[in-house]
Structure 1
Amino acid sequence: MQIFNTPIEYLKGVGPQRAEVLKKEIGVFTYQDLLHYYPFRYIDKTRYYKINEIGFDFPLVQILVRLKSFEVIGEKQSKRLVARVVDETGELELVWFKGLKWIEKTLKINHLYVVFGKPTFFNGKPQMAHPEMELFSKESKERGNLSLQPVYSSTEKLKQFSLDSKGIQKLMSNLLDTVFSEIEEVLPSYILEKYKLLSRRDALLQIHFPTNSTVLSRAQATLKFEELFFIQLKLLKIKHLRTLKFKGNVFATVGNKFNYFYENLLPFQLTGAQKRVLKEIRFDSQKGIQMNRLVQGDVGSGKTVVALMSMLLAIDNGFQACMMAPTEILATQHYASIKSMLPDDFVNIALLTGSTKKKDRKKILEDLVIGTLNILVGTHALIEETVVFKHLGLAVIDEQHRFGVEQRAKLWKKNLIPPHVLVMTATPIPRTLAMSLYGDLDVSVINELPAGRKPIQTIHLYENQRLRMFGYMRREIAKGRQVYVVYPLIQESAKLDLKNLQDGIEVLSREFPLPQYKISIVHGQLKPDEKEFEMQRFIKGQTQIMVATTVIEVGVNVPNASVMIIENAERFGLSQLHQLRGRVGRGSEQSFCILMSKDKLSKEGKVRLETMVKTNDGFEISEVDLQLRGPGDIEGTQQSGILDLKLADLTQDQNILHEARKTVLEIMEADPELQNAEHQILGNFFHKHNTGITLDKIS
């Protein structure tokens, strides 16, 4: 309806100045935006407490009392108004430090008052500072003055315009008076009945001004379902439209390259999970529609081999393949890894990044366009207009959350029939998040480690156990192994009491002196060639210890490294700790991850370190991470734009998400065009709010 797009300045009580601050502070531009600005909590005014029931740890409470006396005491800064109120169970003191004259005028001895505020105790007696107070009138007696009151997030700037929670509440009341009769249903009646949801009109009224906690719960469930339902409808509609628009190249045969690699060149036996994922890719590539598959695999699970074998499948069918990584380090690592598994004359493979020399770049582009180059590995350089393939059949995208939609779309346009797309991520994503972020992709999971790999043993040590840490290092170096030591900072910081790399180098140089021990140093302030020199020394085994910041989180593969030490581990996020741990355990030897921390840990810090010690399973870790941090903070989800959730919480509302997705899947199977009479309501809403999603826009 047009009314919901009305600029917010036209709402009663807003005007130009308030509108400006609402836009800047909380992103409210229209009636629609304000309607979906939900309370973040509710003040429980559903009962009156007795004075003798009030405890030390009580939040805000409401009491019905009689005013017995009041007086102004103290001078200047210590001046205050103190009132004594009573009920049949005891006495309570009320105190005001501001607005004394006005409050004094309004108080009436021996009258009943409804008092609301946060109780505290002074000398063992209950007290309340600056309470809300109103006379207990006939009207309040009739309605009981009992309700759940909404509390809205505000800011200092908003409060300057009298838009604290109460101010926003008044605007919300004006808004609902204005638009209530215009609120239309967006879900079919059979869905509302099946899940016992409220009408949309009632849900929006009750979430802002709930009658009681039971109806509030139903309103929240209704709006959460609606929110998650339309996210899933959008994703699955995109998937359906893709299958209509994008025909796919058919990889009809498993040819010589694939078979020879599988029988003679595979460096290790494939796990059951790798075989299953390859079968899924093989099945997708024969359908005649474009494949869009996400492969989730934990650190070291063997995603690169799956990607390589998929690229060989493309080559066997007369196509070229490419692999795009978000950083030069990662692209170079993939290139080196693939080259190491193939004989020189097996396929023609090249690396293209921003650092590729002009002469090499010219040769790569020539070979690409005539078709003699089979596999091109690279960074964003792959999507430049000058990069032209003869016949691109498969695009592998690593850590795709670091690429924008438009960047990925440019790869699709590199061929007349868009290439099959294989997306890989080593950041395990909880199932609920994957459903909401990648609901338009088919998802495969590699959840086994290659044969012969031993689970990494993770140990948590406190500062006073540092000698034990040195012991682990000496034992492993004596066996010919290598060690990483990672610091959160490069230099000492006046603001942060954390270990830093420069001090660490001094300590380690004393504990592990030359010439017996040699140390590599890598951090973000080094020039690229200096960083590469230090990394190469460590990779070649010329140094036993690499002291680094988190630049080594991805892109370093040294099978001989068996110890990862993380200083101030409590300061790192779970996914980052897991990525760092994944730098070791890449050979057949037992590896260790040692988490060093301060003696005093926050509750959250303790949970993170306990989780790391307890499990090596990236998916289990990601579930804990989701609960600790929320979906918006998990890497990549902020920029996706999909998870702009107003009310639903993926950590708390997994059941609602599953039901919403199941319902959408049933609808898309029975009526993908949303043409049935019962689904026209969905079609109308979908097209109104997703005008950009059309066959000509999906690319």
Structure 2
Amino acid sequence: MLNADLDTTIEFLKGVGPKRAEVLQKELGIYTYADLLGFYPFRYIDRTRFYKVSELDPELPYVQILGRITGKETIGEKHKKRIVARLTDETGTIELVWFQSLKWVEENIMRGKVYIAFGKPTVFNGSFSISHPELEPYPRPATVTGNLTLQPVYNSTEKLKKFSIDSKGIQKLQALVITSCLSEVRETLPAYILEKYKLISRKEALLHIHFPADSKMLQHAQRRLKFEELFFIQLQLLANKQFRELKFKGHRFCLVGNYVHTFYQDILPFELTNAQKRVIKEIRTDTQRGIQMNRLVQGDVGSGKTVVALMSMLLANDNGFQACMMAPTEILARQHYHSIFELVGDQLIRVAILTGTTTKKQRTLLHAQLEAGEIDILIGTHALIEDKVVFKNLGLVVIDEQHRFGVEQRAKLWRKNAVPPHILVMTATPIPRTLAMTIYGDLDVSVIDELPAGRKPIDTRHLYEGQRLRMFGFMKTEIAKGRQVYVVYPLIKESEKLDLLHLEAGIEQMRYQFPLPDYQISIVHGKMPNADKQFEMDRFITGKTQIMVATTVIEVGVNVPNASVMIIENAERFGLSQLHQLRGRVGRGAEQSFCILMSGNKLSKEGRKRLETMVRTNNGFEISEIDLELRGPGDLSGTQQSGVLDLKLADLVKDQQILQEARNTVIDIFQQDPLLTLPENALLKRFTDKKNRGIALDKIS
């Protein structure tokens, strides 16, 4: 077993075997020794602290007590049988109780001997007890291996526990792997990086992450491994960016011609904000470099991203190219089409729309016009990526809300031209700075951080269920002014698990409060056919209905300037980002708009913080940072399917400084050694080459 290879299959580790190996693979994704070494503890138990019996508190998660076994007896029969021992120190006595492994307890736990007992204290019949405590003799034998101060705790599952692979079991396996092949661990970071940031070696880090000698060595191990995680994410992202720039030439948009000038000088009905002008300038600079543009434009709700996208597409048209814009839903695609058509009409350029509901006859004509170059801008949904959709000369692709599309779906658009088109990605979901550096770290990022002049901040209020009549009264007041109201529910039908006021009950309540013919109500939800959804939307957009009762299908893409009130039912059930998106459906006209967050009386700590944040601020970027803090990166839109964020240790909220250090280091490396040909960067070159061949970082170990 000594000096085993890290690529050795886990079943060959002593005490594992084929059956345990299979459950380790299925439950934890552990296939090799290297995988096991990379499965880190999620917390540590401080075994240096001893409690007296008199200090016990049932709120404590665990305690460690030094005492003598002063009594032991077997109680009950058959399945009710248990062993109860009394552990006594100078301040009192606690009961230790076992319901399982009774034969072992009977033979090994001796009266009169001193033990260290460890476990969760509970109160039963007015006395403290610990069920199934960990017991070890005192003083500890010199032969005891493993950590005796900071004990690692590993995530396990019920299936693993059936095979005796609980946290303690995983700890034993880690000890075996470290004993047999720690010497095989190879360094992954160049010496100059270790020296610059005073990082310990990878070998030391893996030893002390599993069995830290003390809290200081644990901190060193965590910092080293966090830096490594974030560094190699940045290296992969920026290497991909550099590879694209070296390999993919891009169309040069050198001409700012009639389309852009006419639109900007004669058609655009409002002044662009300075932020919009800055972003358009950045896009112009990108498209003149002769390499493919890959730029992310993020802006808060209502910041004017659509106009920036339109002017970018007109720039492509001025240079003899077609442009297309892909949206995740038909509602959003139609919204973009109507917005752009209203701005440019059909005299300046030819704009068309292609969605899943486009008829076969319309498609045939559209395909022919597109291939002949008779359509300048095509707007649509996933339908754009179909093989039948052929452009004459596609120069720019705009992707709205990119996180809603898969990687392969996006790539199909890029392949629709011999020279890859420029890529402009837009999102109305403000992205925290640290997340932007990781998820979109290979894109150039532009931020529209300024709202158009005249926009009033949305007045947000939080009301409880007992204030519902007050909410209905407010709705009637606003409708009497000629305004319109959204009412959003989280569910379509009643759920047994979630006690929510569902859409159908809400409609009944709404019809009672707002009877015909004085009030008209539109109903929209995700289960409706697209044609029905569009019909109801159109009724609301044209003012034929005063109230739209909907699910989150209207989260993005609905622009009704006359709608001044957004009511969100069971608001505590929504994430901050979604609440902010929904709020952004109002506040699009000159009048004061309102968002009312309805909730039950009982709120969790997180739920309360979300609602308080919404009431306090309209700043989407501030909201996104709090959302990241509350939910973590894995839960935020798009991060799971991106395949980038697979963090084991690093935390994007707590480790922002380490992330910035890692990114700056990679940027410096590529500035000095673009192709990683210097000898000191051989390890990094090896990593990028393996990534290009689809081999994971763990294989470097």
Q: Same fold (TM over 0.5)?
A: yes
Q: Report the alpha carbon displacement of residue 676 of structure 1 after superposing the two structures with TM.
A: 1.2
**Correspondence for 1:36:** 38
- How many residues were matched structurally? 693
Q: Is the 8 A contact 1:45 1:145 kept in 2?
A: no
Task: Determine the structure 2 residue equivalent to 1:340.
Answer: 342
Distance 1:544 1:45 in 2: 65
Rounded to whole Å, the distance in 1 between the matches of 2:60 and 2:142 is: 24
| Counterpart in the other structure of 1:383 | 385
Equivalences for residues 41-440 of structure 1 within 5 A? 41-74=43-76, 79-122=81-124, 125-137=127-139, 139=141, 146-440=148-442
Report the alpha carbon displacement of residue 367 of structure 1 after superposing the two structures with TM: 2.1
Q: Structure 1 residue 644: deviation in Å?
A: 1.3
3-state SS of paired residue (1:38)? coil
Please give the alpha-carbon distance, in whole angstroms, between the structure 1 residues aligned to 2:343 and 2:518: 34
1:139 counterpart SS class = coil
Cα 1:666–1:22 shift into 2, 3 Å: same
| Counterpart in the other structure of 2:463 | 461
User: Is 1:659–2:664 an aligned residue pair?
Assistant: no
Is 1:553 aligned to 2:558, yes or no? no
Give how far 1:481 is off: 0.6
Pairing partner for 1:485 from 484, 487, 493 = 487
Q: Secondary structure at the match of 2:314?
A: helix
Percent identity between the two aligned chains: 68
Report the secondary structure of 1:5's partner residue: coil
Q: Out of 632-641 and 522-531, give the one that drifted further.
A: 522-531
Separation of aligned partners in 2, 1:50 and 1:112: 14
Amino acid at match of 1:572: F
- Counterpart CA distance in 2 for 1:345 and 1:589 is 32
Q: State the Cα distance separating 1:188 from its structure 2 match.
A: 1.1
How far did 1:63 drift? 2.2
CA contact (8 A) 1:562 1:590 kept: yes
Give TM-score, length-normalised by structure 1. Answer: 0.95
Task: State the SS of the aligned residue for 1:4.
Answer: coil
Moved more, 402-411 or 559-568: 402-411
1:608 Cα shift? 0.9
Distance 1:343 1:550 in 2: 31
8 A Cα contact 1:80 1:96, kept in partner: yes
Could you tell me how far apart the structure 2 residues matched to 1:262 and 1:468 are? 46
Change (3 A) 1:63 1:344: same
Q: Letter of the 1:493 partner, please give it.
A: S
Partner of 2:699: none
CA contact (8 A) 1:394 1:420 kept: yes
SS in 1 for 2:637: coil
1:643 aligns with 2:640: no
Any idea what the Cα deviations from partners look like across 1:579-599, whole Å, max 9, x if unmatched?
111111111111001011111
* Matched position secondary structure for 1:521: strand
User: Residue type matched to 2:466 in 1?
Assistant: N
Contact 1:236–1:439 (8 Å) recurs in 2: yes
Q: Deviations over 1:104-127 (max 9, x none)?
A: 322333222121112234455443
The one of 591, 611, 623 aligned to 2:613 = 611
- The structure-2 alpha-carbon separation of the partners of 1:195 and 1:276, relative to structure 1 and needing over 3 Å to count, comes to same
In structure 2, do the counterparts of structure 1 residues 2 and 670 end up closer, same or farther at CA, with 3 Å as the change threshold?
A: farther
Q: Distance in 2 between matches of 1:40 and 1:142?
A: 23
Q: Which amino acid aligns with 2:443?
A: L
Instruction: Give per-residue Cα distances to partners, 1:320-360, cap 9 Å, x unaligned.
Output: 11111122221111111100001321101111122222222
The 2-side partners of 1:489 and 1:379 are apart by 25
- The change in CA–CA distance for 1:142 and 1:538 in structure 2 (over 3 A counts) is closer
Amino acid in the other structure paired with 1:446: I
Residue identity in the other structure for 2:187: E
Once the two structures are overlaid, the 10-residue window that deviates more, 559-568 or 463-472, is 463-472
- The CA deviation at 1:79 is 4.4
Q: 1:394 to 1:175 in 2, by over 3 A?
A: same
Q: Does the 8 Å CA contact 1:47/1:146 hold for their aligned counterparts?
A: no
Q: Is the 8 A contact 1:268 1:451 kept in 2?
A: no
Taking structure 2 as the reference length, the TM-score comes to 0.95
CA contact (8 A) 2:146 2:211 kept: no
CA distance in 1, matches of 2:162, 2:87: 33
CA distance in 2, matches of 1:224, 1:520: 51
Shift of 1:140: 5.1
Q: Is the 8 A contact 2:239 2:688 kept in 1?
A: no
Distance 1:347 1:254 in 2: 15
Q: Is the 8 A contact 2:465 2:598 kept in 1?
A: yes
Q: Displacement of 1:144 after TM fit?
A: 12
Residues 158-199 of structure 1, C-alpha deviations (whole Å, 9 max, x = no match): 111111111111221221222211101110112112222110
Tell whether the 8 Å contact from 2:147 to 2:212 is kept in structure 1 after alignment: no
1:65-97 C-alpha deviation (Å, 9 max, x unpaired):
122222334555654433233333433332333
- 2:356 partner letter: G
- For 2:682 and 2:613, the matched residues in 1 are separated by 48
Give the aligned residue type for 2:6: F
Amino acid corresponding to residue 429 of structure 1 in structure 2:
I
Q: Which amino acid aligns with 1:13?
A: G
CA distance in 1, matches of 2:568, 2:411: 38
Query: Is 402-411 or 481-490 further displaced after alignment?
Result: 402-411
| Cα separation, partners in 2 of 1:51 and 1:244, compared to 1, 3 Å | same
Q: Take 1:585 and 1:664, find their aligned partners in 2: how far apart are those partners?
A: 42
CA gap of 1:100–1:162, structure 2 versus 1, over 3 A, is: closer
Deviation sequence 1:213-256 (CA, Å, 0-9, x none): 11111101111100110000000001111111111111112112
1:496-575 equivalences under 5 Å are: 496-575=498-577
Give, in whole Å, the separation in 1 of the partners of 2:462 and 2:456.
Answer: 19
Q: Secondary structure at 2:5's aligned position in 1?
A: helix
In the alignment, which residue of structure 2 is the partner of 1:697?
A: none
8 Å Cα contact 1:295/1:444 also seen in 2: yes
Question: Which of the residues 1, 6, 9 maps onto 2:8?
Answer: 6
The answer (yes or no) to whether the contact 2:4–2:181 under 8 Å persists in 1 is no
Extract unaligned runs of 5+ from structure 2: 696-701
Task: Show structure 1 runs of 5+ residues with no match.
Answer: 694-699
Flag the 1:142–1:34 CA change in 2: closer, same or farther, 3 A. closer
Residue 2 of structure 1: how far off its partner (Å): 10
Moved more, 414-423 or 659-668: 414-423
1:55 Cα deviation from its structure 2 partner: 3.2
Assess if the C-alpha contact under 8 Å between 1:58 and 1:119 holds in 2: yes
**Is it true that 1:450 corresponds to 2:449 in the alignment?**
no
